[in-house]
Structure 1
Amino acid sequence: MAGHSKWANIKHRKAAQDAKRGKLFTKHIREITVAAREGGGDLDSNAALRIAVDKALGVNMTRDTVERAIKRGTGDLEGVNYEDMTYEGYAPCGIAVLVECSSDNKNRIVAEVRHAFSKYNGSLGTSGSVAYMFTSLGVIEMAEGADEEQVMEVALEAGADDIVTHEDGTVEVTCPPAEYVALMGAFEQAGMAVANSEVTKRAENEIALSQDDAEKVMKLIDALEDLDDVVEVFSNADFPESAFEAQS
C-alpha cells in the first residue's frame, strides 16, 4: 500500500537533527558501549549491539572506533560506565515527548532535561505518562529501485510486519525489534541493498501542528537533542514541511 507523507516528515526531521549534531559519534559510541556492557561483545548473540554498530557504521564511524567502544563496554578497556535512562514529558500544544539518554551522571542529566522542558514551556512527566503512546519497531528502507515483490517475499519470510511503498518510490519494511537483525541478514543474503535502517520508536497517533506551534515544539526538541547525554528524542508531533525549511 502507498505510504502517506509521514515518512517524508520523519526523514526531514532526522536529516535536520543529524546535520546539527556535532556530537553524533559520541552518542553512537555510548550506545555501543552500553549495549556491549549489558549483552556482551558478540554481534551474533547481542542484537542490541548489532543494531548500535550498524547505526554507527551508517554514519561513517570507523571500525577501529567501534571495536574500542565494544571493548570499553565489555571491560576490556577502562572507561566511564554509562547507564541508559528514559524521561517522558509534554511539549507545548500537548505534544508527547520521549527522551532516551545514556549518562554517567543520572543527577546531572535529569536536571538538564527538566530545565529544557521548563525553559521551553513543556513539562517533565512521570514514568509511563507518555511511553504507552509509542511503539518500538525496526525500520528498514530499501535502496532506490528495489523490486517490491522481492522485498515482500524476503521480508515476510523473515518476520516483517508490514511493507509500504511511499510517495517518493522508496520501500519501507517494518518489523518487531526482535526480528530486526534476522531481517537485515535476510536482505543481505538475498543480495538486496538497504538504504537506511534502525530500531526506533514511533507514535501510534500524531498531532498535526501549525507553523507557529511547530516552531515552539521544535525549540524544546532541539534543546533536548543538544544535551550531551541525550541519544534520541521522539515525539508525536506531525510537523509541516515548512517547519523544516524554516529550520535549515
Structure 2
Amino acid sequence: MTDPSIADLSKDAAARAAVALVEPGMRLGLGTGSTAAVFVRRLAERVKAEGFSLRCAATSKATAEQATSLGLQVEELDEIGWLDLTIDGADEVDPDLNLIKGGGAAHLREKIVATASNRMVVIADQNKVVEQLGQFHLPVEVIPFGWQATRTLIQRALERLSLWPRPILLRKRGEEPLRTDEGNLILDLALEAIPDPEALAAELSAIAGVVEHGLFLNICQLAIIGRPDGSVVTLRREDKE
C-alpha cells in the first residue's frame, strides 16, 4: 500500500503544475475528488496572490462549496457556456489517456463539463497510471426506477463481451445506497480488466436506465502525473494536441 504522505506529495506536485496552465479570465471546469480538491486549493492561492478573475464551473456540489469557500467565482455551466479548460483527477489513466472516473460519484457531471471544454487535463499520482483499464471498479450511474432490471441488462452486456461472471456492486454510504448529486444510484463493475473499452462503453450507453458510465474515452488530451519529489511527468495524446 502506498504511503499516504507520498500520495499527497504526488497529488500536490500535479496540482501545482496544472495551476500554471490557468490563464487570467479563463472559463474553467473544476473536477471532483482528492486530487482535484488539492488543485482547487492551489488555484485559489494563486488567484488571491495575483488578483485575477476566473469563471468556474464545478463538477459536484462538494467542489462548488470548496471553491466558493476559497473565494473562487463559481457559476452554473449553462451561465458560462463553453469552457476553455477543465482540470480533473482520474481513478485510472491508460497509455492512450483513456480514463476510469467516478470514484467520487461525480462522473456524470464530470463528463458533461469535460466534453463542454476545449481541453481536458487530468492530474494524478503515478499509481493511477495503468497499462490496461479495469482494476479500479467501473462506476455506472443508473436511475433508481427499475435499477435491478438495469443491472440485469448490464450483466447481459458483460456476458456478450465475455466479461462475466464479475460482481456488480451497488455502492453504499454506510447502510444506505449512495445517491449522486442527481439523486441516482451507482453500480460498480468489478471487472479486473477491460480489453476493449470502446465496445464496453457502447454497450453500457445503449442500456435503458444507464445515465452515464465512468469510461472517459478520447476526452483527455494531457495528463500530469505527480511524483513525491515534486516533479511531474506529462503524457500527451498527440492527435489532440
TM-score, normalised via structure 2 length: 0.33
Higher helix share: 1
TM-score, normalised via structure 1 length: 0.32
